[in-house]
Structure 1
Amino acid sequence: MAPDPEPPRSMLSADLDALLTAVGAAAATSDLGREYRMLRQIVDGAAAAVAILDPDLRYRYVNPYMARMNGLPAASHIGHTMDEVLPGLHRSEEVLRQVLRDGEPRELIATGYRWARSPHARREWRATYHRLVSERGEVVGVAGIGLEIAEPRRYLHELEYAHQRMTLLDTAANQIGTTLDVDTTCGELTGFVVPSLADAACVELFSSERAGRQRLDAGRPTGLRRVAFRAAAPLTERLGDLATPGAFEEYVRAAPLRRRLEQGRFWLYDLRGPDAGDGGPGCIDRVARCRAAGIRSAVVVPLASDARLLGALTLVRGDSSPVFTRQDAVVAQDLAARAARALSRAVHYDREHTMALELQRALLSEPSVPHPNLETASRYLPADDSTLVGGDWFDSLALPGNRNMLVIGDVMGHGVEAAVAMSHYRSMLRAMAINGLPPHQVLSRADQLVSESGFGRVATCLLALGDPRTGTLTYANAGHLPPLRLSTEGVAEIVPVPVGPPLGTGYGRYGSVVRPGVPGAVLLMYTDGLVERRGEDIDVSLDRLTRLRLNPRDPLETILDEALAQLTGGRAAEDDIALLAVRTKGPRPLPDDGSEPA
């Protein structure tokens, strides 16, 4: 009969079945054997690293989970120290010796590398160690139970990073694009990213003649205008004219930087690296100057909205700041995408504002000269808000018999459409007045034509027909504010004129009222932007007009300037303002309210 196998040197690390066979069948089937089998199954199957070390801190047992975590078989651990098994791991053995000395459990953080492959560049573990004492009171070692915390920490870091990123983007939505002004929006963007994301930042937009063009000739430089720049004072001084808004830069389309911007990708580079000048010939000089200013790294992200490239946002960091990472670049790109939407709206309204303003000025500057017996002066002031350029207009027509038709009007709504509608009304009223219709019939016919055409743009209008033969002025009003008369003594009075509905409603029932005049009086016709204020009753607004202090003998240009200064106080207008001042030059007086003709 073969002798029983010799028990293993370490019962803890022995194979469970071999161990129980070695100690004999009686022991294996006893309560102690069953409990030992159960405990070994629990420890061997645990989803945590379990290790037992002797007083010399040599491994006596590692469970399968720890063997897999370390990337070594369990047998390779037994009898070896931690440094021998895992030389790339950093931890304090002194903590374990303290556990051996005083018996107090302690936690130990270990960082570094093990033999097993891992997606983490650097791994981290946390373990708790307890002292082991025999039944005779002898210290026989320590037992440790640990888990890798690199993955949970990475998850928490990513969660925290995502939260910070969302907070940053949400804050940006409230602080960038608060107006529809392009320069203001660009300034808000650079002010937001400095210093939270960069030491300095600038926004460059395509020059107006190339804005939004995607297909340019290969190799042809693309002009970008520096609209906004933000940095700490010392860095601004060192960069010199590179920090000056308004300058133009050239980016060759064939260069890698230009291609990345067109493709909607960011450009991340070290200014000290060999690819730092890939923006093109002009970029090489800028990189050299940035290096001399102490700039270490940069990231350039496109400003694009609706597949249209508007420009670029450039962020830089100096020597004392960490280099930009890909995560930083992704945040900058997301931030630029949100800012680009606000910037696109600002660019759109800026273009619409310019188009409407130029159209309106072109129409108002068309030849419109009354008869020599009438002196006129006019003003048009667009609202401060670029969305409010629209349909205010004035006109003066020379008619047969030395008569003059004076017109002031306001199309409801704003923008290019309102300016176009204003031109339609202006042309239509001119044609009807030239055909000899009296003022009230001119309004009735215009109201009918507009309502039947479905044009959809309602307008207010005030007509005044001056006849030097009778020294009278005939008024007709379609929902407009009444005119103001400045007497020869300088007293400002509202001229009462019956009011009909605005043009385009189809309900026009208009009448005319005839008023005589006095020599030297001035008639002022205006749109509501001159007097109306939000939340203020119209009677209060009109009363403000009567408190004007003007000299009727001054040139009409001076009278208009004084009226604007007294009514607006130099503040930006809330709405467009159109003004028309008239005064007779011949022997016949200017029509007036209540005085006998001369």
Structure 2
Amino acid sequence: MSNQDATEAHRDAGPERLRARLRLVEEAAEQIGTTLDEQAICTELCRFLCRHLCDAAAVDLLAEATAARFPPREPELTRVTSAGLVKVLQAQFPEEGTGGSAAGNPSLRALIEGHPRTAAGVLKGGMSAQAAAVPLVAHGRCYGVLLALRAGGTFRDDEMATVHHAARLAAAHLAHARRHAAVQRTAMDLQRALLAEPGRPHPNLELATRYLPSGTSALVGGDWFEAVRLHYGRTLLVVGDVMGHGLDAAVDMNAYRSSLRDVASADLPPHRVLRQLDAAVAKDEARRPATCLLARVDPARGLAGFAGAGHLPPVVFGPDGTAELVRVPVGPPLGTGAGGYELVTRPLTADETLLMFTDGLVERRGEDIDDSLARLARIRLPAGTGVEDVLDEVLRHLDAAHAEDDVAVLAARLRRYPGQEPVGH
């Protein structure tokens, strides 16, 4: 090839190389950071690099509490010899007889991708290699270090620029994931504090509660429960669900809970409590609507009075462990200002257990709600099951640990004292 031909070939290679790099940049944007999971982000980064630019890659991810502040200036790309990757690759490929293990590098959070033969060859000294160490920096913080290994060759400047771009992209997603996780923890801590314990019922009532956050939801919900002492040994039991998720839903849930305590202190029947609460909430346009179910339990008379605001009905488990749905008229959700709540009463004995719950306990995607409630009503519990065990058995039967929405559930039973005759005898 003549000098002129070589010059023209080099000139043509420049634009083509630039186009190839732009394609890689676009691919990196599509393939890195598809989730809010740190491990997944690191996996996507290493897989991208190993497909296009290197033979093995690893991320040494700093713990959140120790993420270092980085100078605002752009960090220099650092090139190191393969010796800098020895302990990393030993942890990644212990089966190759290198004698290393992951325990030797406890700060390592992600070791993904690579070719075992290449790694083993480098470790045994039978192959030349170059490694690039690039800090994962975003918004002035360093979240870890990317290590990329190329065996039998070196990184060109344009390739190093692409590695650096991918590292910065991953770091930005790591920063976003950690901010999101911090907000989620705040919301969860708030809801746990608000739901730590409902109010104390009268001693004549046994009470058990559970709250299970959804395992699939990225945001906390507005599910809640409450118990309010009333006059003459009666207790008002409450289960509610603020529409939506997130910190705002948790804040509104607390506002509903506080307002209900104030209204209930007047010792009104359940349907009038809902009527006043609905009217008060409707005046605040910023408040989210909520569903709610009230049950006023009167142990002295052996009665329970129910009223609902767009909420699912309760269930009563009888002495033989069979379940019965209590048909409560469904009024509009709280916050609409429409009112129209009705009271229904039912006898309740010390041999029966009342169960109130939010929709996450029974609702399943693609299933009619009547079928969901029927599945709950088909549960048969051993006779004499305690209040706490009733909750555990119901949650187990309905696989509530894998529910698609948050679950709040409350069980109550009249307390029978030694020598006391059953109500109605």
- TM-score band, normalised by shorter chain: 0.7 to 0.9
Structure-1 separation of matches of 2:410 and 2:158: 60
**Matching residue's letter, 2:194:** L
Residues 436-451 of structure 1: pairs in structure 2 closer than 5 A: 436-451=267-282
Q: How many residues align structurally? A: 393
Structure-1 separation of matches of 2:406 and 2:261: 22
Pair 562,171 (structure 1): closer, same or farther in 2 beyond 3 Å: farther
**Matching residue's letter, 1:414:** H
Structure-1 separation of matches of 2:12 and 2:353: 77
Aligned to 1:402: 233
Pair 551,597 (structure 1): closer, same or farther in 2 beyond 3 Å: same
Structure-1 separation of matches of 2:209 and 2:336: 28
Residues 497-516 of structure 1: pairs in structure 2 closer than 5 A: 497-516=328-347
Pair 525,385 (structure 1): closer, same or farther in 2 beyond 3 Å: same
Pair 565,438 (structure 1): closer, same or farther in 2 beyond 3 Å: same
Task: Give the SS at the match of 1:148.
Answer: helix
Aligned to 1:584: 414
Q: Does 1:157 align with 2:1?
A: no
Structure-1 separation of matches of 2:97 and 2:305: 65
Residues 371-410 of structure 1: pairs in structure 2 closer than 5 A: 371-410=202-241
Pair 157,242 (structure 1): closer, same or farther in 2 beyond 3 Å: farther
Aligned to 1:128: none
Structure-2 separation of matches of 1:164 and 1:231: 31
**Matching residue's letter, 1:301:** V
Pair 304,456 (structure 1): closer, same or farther in 2 beyond 3 Å: farther
Q: Does 1:315 align with 2:147?
A: yes
Pair 175,548 (structure 1): closer, same or farther in 2 beyond 3 Å: farther
The CA deviation at 1:207 is: 3.7
Q: 1:357 aligns with which of 169, 188, 197?
A: 188
Aligned to 1:35: none
Q: Does 1:431 align with 2:288?
A: no
Structure-2 separation of matches of 1:428 and 1:196: 60
Structure-2 separation of matches of 1:502 and 1:342: 39
Q: 2:405 aligns with which of 575, 588, 592?
A: 575
Task: Give the SS at the match of 2:331.
Answer: coil
* Cα displacement string for residues 513-539 of structure 1 (whole angstroms, at most 9, x for unaligned residues): 111123311111111111112222211
Task: Give the SS at the match of 1:408.
Answer: strand
CA contact 1:298–1:314 (8 Å) conserved in 2: no
Which moves more between the two structures, 435-444 or 462-471? 435-444
Structure-1 separation of matches of 2:142 and 2:315: 48
Structure-1 separation of matches of 2:67 and 2:354: 46
The CA deviation at 1:487 is: 1.3
Residues 318-329 of structure 1: pairs in structure 2 closer than 5 A: 320-329=151-160
Q: 1:463 aligns with which of 262, 270, 294?
A: 294
Aligned to 2:120: none
Pair 367,474 (structure 1): closer, same or farther in 2 beyond 3 Å: closer
* Cα displacement string for residues 46-100 of structure 1 (whole angstroms, at most 9, x for unaligned residues): xxxxxxxxxxxxxxxxxxxxxxxxxxxxxxxxxxxxxxxxxxxxxxxxxxxxxxx
Structure-2 separation of matches of 1:498 and 1:383: 28
The CA deviation at 1:236 is: 10
Task: Give the SS at the match of 2:320.
Answer: coil
Structure-2 separation of matches of 1:480 and 1:544: 17
Aligned to 2:136: 303
Task: Give the SS at the match of 2:206.
Answer: strand
**Matching residue's letter, 2:404:** E
Pair 176,533 (structure 1): closer, same or farther in 2 beyond 3 Å: farther
Q: 1:414 aligns with which of 245, 248, 252?
A: 245
CA contact 2:67–2:144 (8 Å) conserved in 1: no
CA contact 2:328–2:344 (8 Å) conserved in 1: yes
Unaligned runs of 5+ in 1: 1-108, 111-124, 126-146, 217-227, 249-289, 589-595
Task: Give the SS at the match of 1:388.
Answer: coil
The CA deviation at 1:465 is: 0.9
Residues 500-579 of structure 1: pairs in structure 2 closer than 5 A: 500-568=331-399, 572-579=402-409
CA contact 2:61–2:108 (8 Å) conserved in 1: no
The CA deviation at 1:482 is: 0.8
* Cα displacement string for residues 131-185 of structure 1 (whole angstroms, at most 9, x for unaligned residues): xxxxxxxxxxxxxxxx3343x4334434443444344344444443333223333
Q: TM-score, normalised by structure 1?
A: 0.59
Q: 2:309 aligns with which of 478, 493, 511?
A: 478
Structure-2 separation of matches of 1:392 and 1:317: 50
* Cα displacement string for residues 552-573 of structure 1 (whole angstroms, at most 9, x for unaligned residues): 5223332222222221286x22
Pair 567,445 (structure 1): closer, same or farther in 2 beyond 3 Å: same
Q: Does 1:148 align with 2:5?
A: yes
Identity %: 42
CA contact 2:222–2:249 (8 Å) conserved in 1: yes
Pair 214,196 (structure 1): closer, same or farther in 2 beyond 3 Å: closer
Q: 2:164 aligns with which of 317, 326, 333?
A: 333
The CA deviation at 1:475 is: 0.9
Pair 463,517 (structure 1): closer, same or farther in 2 beyond 3 Å: same
Task: Give the SS at the match of 2:409.
Answer: strand
The CA deviation at 1:462 is: 0.8
Task: Give the SS at the match of 2:64.
Answer: coil
Which moves more between the two structures, 436-445 or 291-300? 291-300
Structure-2 separation of matches of 1:568 and 1:301: 45
CA contact 1:412–1:458 (8 Å) conserved in 2: yes
The CA deviation at 1:214 is: 6.0
Pair 568,232 (structure 1): closer, same or farther in 2 beyond 3 Å: same
Q: Does 1:194 align with 2:50?
A: yes
Structure-2 separation of matches of 1:212 and 1:509: 59
Using CA pairs under 8 Å that are at least 6 residues apart, name the structure with larger relative contact order, 1 or 2: 2
CA contact 1:185–1:346 (8 Å) conserved in 2: no
CA contact 2:292–2:311 (8 Å) conserved in 1: yes
**Matching residue's letter, 1:347:** R
CA contact 2:242–2:249 (8 Å) conserved in 1: yes
Pair 327,389 (structure 1): closer, same or farther in 2 beyond 3 Å: same
